[in-house]
Amino acid sequence: MPEPTLSPYVQQLPAEEGLLLACARSDMTQAEITRAQTLASDLDWHEVERLAREHGVGTLVYPNLKQHFGHEVPAEILDRLRQLSIATTQSNLGLLRELLSTVRELNSHGIECAVFKGLLVNQLAYRNLAIRKSGDVDLLVRKQDYSRAKALFLSQGFTQTLSDKVELLCLQSGLWHEERKLQIDLHWGIPPRELNIRADKIMERITHVAVGGVNVPSFAMEDVFIILCTNATKEFWNQLLYPYRDIAELLRSGIPLDWRSLFNRARDLGCRRAVTVALAVVETLYGVPLPEQVKRELRREPDCEKVERELLRQLFEQDIDDSLVINKTGHHLYYFVSSARYHEALIDGALDRLRFRYLVFVDPNDETRIRRELTPIAALFHYSVKPFWMCGKYLLKILRRSGDE
């Protein structure tokens, strides 16, 4: 197989970021080693270490640095990365025990769950549970079982780490057990909320995957891949390398994927655009050939190319212009005027995008735009009446100003 051609994006990266891209993988080809050796001739190794930790790929980078650049990398940096790898192995083994215990506990109370992200991806993409640190246990349960599952965890000493409003926005609870040092993200839906991903359809195809030699309930393989892609693109303000490396490794692992079937499934779940964008980013970063289906989607959906440019710009940022800050959290965008417009570009279907734009107009604050918790009748009343109420409020302000004059 011919070596992939470096994209213009990769070619213009600083040496430290280019070397990180080359080394953050399960194994390196000779061409990648040669390129990395060229980059290693003049770079800041402390910056490479910082980037590796920041992007969650320190344990991926370490063995390649040790094998191919053992004489160039300062000994203290290699030692710190070695310690990180040891700590990751110990942490993930402990997390595996907690994961298996948690699944058994839920099953004993008649609550079906599915494990996703984290250790599951390590197993499927790398065949190595210790290859990358997993900080928590992600579980999806059916919406009707969510309250019962959350109450069960709270009764066992877990504390809620997210406010009720944030839980509704994120479609999950954050649950922390201080004594066990265990974080569980209990989902009844799949973020981002704006895409309205059909979690109920995912739960209809639960299967079992061997993780650490034990079968655990998880998504069907197509759904695992799809949710990996949506997870990579959901937060433009928190772009990290590891989700895209996970996708690339999963593709290299030889899992059987029927692209037509996968895109049909992504459309059914409501996240076809997110999958298209994530694959386009992976192709740009790693030269993984795009399936013809993705190329067609990119040609047909110019918004997807715009989102891809945004994510690549956010991934390795150099100087951030203060004028780009768009809200109190400091989130900024390069190609979109607001976070709402970014998420709108990821939504499948013109009518769904139009509906989303209307809802943003009516309720511009994300914390009040929790529409799916309203009953259909209440939602119809709320979003039909509110525009007239807003216009009336605006006219009243004008009349008051006229009266004061």
| Residues sharing a CB contact under 8 Å with residue 129, sequence separation 6 or more, in sequence order | 92, 93, 96, 119, 122, 123, 211, 212
295 in a domain, yes or no? Answer: yes
pLDDT digits 0-9 by tens, 83-98: 999 999 999 999 999 9
In the predicted structure, residue 73 carries a pLDDT above the cut 70: yes
Residue 88 is given by DSSP the state: H
Q: In what order do the strands lie in the sheet with 137-141?
A: 159-160, 172-177, 182-187, 137-141, 113-116, 214-218, 207-211
**355 found inside a domain:** no
What is residue 110's predicted lDDT score, i.e. its pLDDT? 97
Q: Are residues 237 and 308 in the same domain?
A: yes
One domain for residues 338 and 287: yes
Residue 369 covered by a domain: no
Specify whether 339 is located in the same domain as 397.
Answer: no
Question: In terms of residue numbers, what domain contains 171?
Answer: 96-219
Ramachandran region, residue 216 (left: φ > 0; alpha: ψ -120 to 50; beta: rest): beta
Confirm whether 91 is domain-assigned. Answer: no
pLDDT of the residue at 373: 45
Q: How confident is the model at residue 317 (pLDDT cuts 50, 70, 90)?
A: confident
pTM over 0.85: yes
Assess whether the previous peptide bond of 192 is cis (omega < 30° from 0): yes
Percent of the chain with pLDDT over 90: 68
The distance between the two most distant Cα atoms of the chain, rounded to a whole number of Å, is 80
- Which DSSP state fits 70? T
- Both 289 and 324 in one domain: the answer is yes
Mean pLDDT of 28-42: 91
> How many of the other CB atoms lie within 10 Å of CB of 369?
18
Distance CA 262, CA 275 (A): 9
pLDDT band at 331 (very low <50, low <70, confident <90, very high): confident
| Domain closes at, from 219, 241, 258 | 219
Who wins on pLDDT, 376 or 350?
Answer: 350
Residue 278 lies in a domain: yes
- Specify which residues 142 forms β-bridges with: none
205 and 255 part of one domain? no
> What is the rounded CA–CA span in Å between residue 254 and residue 52?
26
Determine the pLDDT at residue 256.
Answer: 82
pLDDT at residue 257, rounded to an integer? 86
**Residues 279, 220: Cα–Cα separation, whole Å:** 19
Domain boundary among 219, 251, 286: 219
pLDDT of 299? 79
Structure tokens given for 36: 């990395």
Residue 153: its H or E element: helix 143-155
Residues 123 and 135 in one domain: yes
269/325 same-domain check: yes
Query: Domain boundary residue among 170, 186, 219?
Result: 219
- How far apart are alpha carbons 263 and 265 in whole angstroms? 5
| Whether 33 and 126 share a structural domain | no
Is residue 252, in this structure, part of any structural domain at all?
A: yes
pLDDT tens-digit series, residues 177-236: 999 999 999 999 999 999 999 999 999 999 999 998 899 999 999 999 999 999 999 999
Report yes or no: 103 and 74 within 8 Å, Cβ to Cβ: no
pLDDT of residue 360: 79
Angle between helix 242-252 and 272-286 (nearest 10): 90
In DSSP terms, which residues pair with 177 in a beta bridge? 182
> Residue for token digits 């992007």?
55
Q: What letters, b where the CB count within 10 A reaches 16 and e where it falls short, cover 10-36?
A: beebebbbbbbbbbbbbebeeebbebb
Residue 8 lies in a domain: yes
Is residue 363 domain-resident?
Answer: no
DSSP symbols for 232-243? HHS-GGG--SHH
Dihedral sign computed on CA atoms, order 239, 208, 253, 92: positive
Q: Are residues 37 and 154 in the same domain?
A: no
Q: What CATH number does residue 164 fall under?
A: 3.30.460.40
Same domain, 390 and 326: no
- Mean pLDDT across 321-339: 71
| 262 and 186 together in one domain | no
CB atoms within 10 A of CB 92: 23
Tell me what the mean pLDDT of segment 37-41 comes to. 91
Cα 357–363–365 angle (5° rounding)? 105
The number of distinct structural domains making up the chain is 4
Q: Residue 374 corresponds to which tokens in the numbers above?
A: 């309203």
Local confidence band at 75 (pLDDT 50, 70, 90 cut-offs): very high
The strand pair at 137-141 and 182-187 is best described as: parallel
Say whether both 120 and 184 belong to one domain.
Answer: yes
